[in-house]
Copies of this chain bind each other. A is one copy, B any other.
């Protein structure tokens, strides 16, 4: 007899273990390939066991996102405020690059979780102590946040594309099919665009643009 598979002992599972394992799996196999069944298998458990800890898959996604947001470092207190802003934004970007699934989770899940609030608190505090009024601080926070999210998600996306030979080749041939008569500037700058896509320099360039604009507008 195939030995009616010994029942797994009683408390092998916990929210923390599930979240951690889910995160590991997403990074190992890619966020899109992640499935509850795969996660359950990895944990040596039936798929439905997960529902004791999470109402559904999206609920688990939220938990993973908050788990990751906890890793965004605190604002360093000893810097001037523009460098504090830089520090927070770079920290966020670094974390997204290290955990690409975070980009996906931030982009496709509604906002919630204490750790997300913690990060917002840090950045908002910096902006207020820089002398911005409530409305400007809120607007600036949203601007910075969406810039970081957009720029870094795009960077991750492009990196993934470069890694996939099929999609990379498709892009190359599309580019080469563009007549320099129709799209002179794109053709002229193709190499430049490819070279400057992603990377610390590109990210900092946009960030500095925002900070420079902010300083121009700031009440001295």
Contact = CB atoms under 8 A, between A and B. Distances in A.
Interface of A: 107-108, 110-114, 117-118, 120-121, 124-125, 128, 134-135, 137-143, 145-151, 153-154, 157-158, 160-161, 164, 167, 170-171, 174-175, 178, 182-186, 188-189, 192-193, 195-197, 201-202, 205-206, 208-214, 216-217
A212 B205 contact: no
A137 B117 CA distance: 36
A171 to B, nearest CB: 6
B150 A206 contact: no
Nearest to A205: B139
22 contacts: A107-B153, A112-B170, A113-B174, A114-B178, A117-B174, A117-B175, A124-B189, A125-B185, A134-B189, A139-B201, A139-B202, A139-B205, A139-B206, A142-B151, A142-B196, A142-B202, A148-B150, A149-B150, A206-B210, A209-B217, A212-B212, A212-B217
Contacts of A151: 142-143, 146-147, 150
A199 to B, nearest CB: 10
A124 B135 CA distance: 33
B154 A146 contact: yes
A170 B58 CA distance: 13
By secondary structure, the A interface counts as: helix
Nearest to A167: B110
A201 B108 CA distance: 23
Contacts of A209: 140, 143, 209-210, 213-214, 217
Contact of A185 (B124, B147, B185): B124
Contacts of A113: 174
Nearest to A109: B157
Given A134-B192, A143-B206, A217-B209, A107 B186 contact: no
Contacts of A137: 189, 192
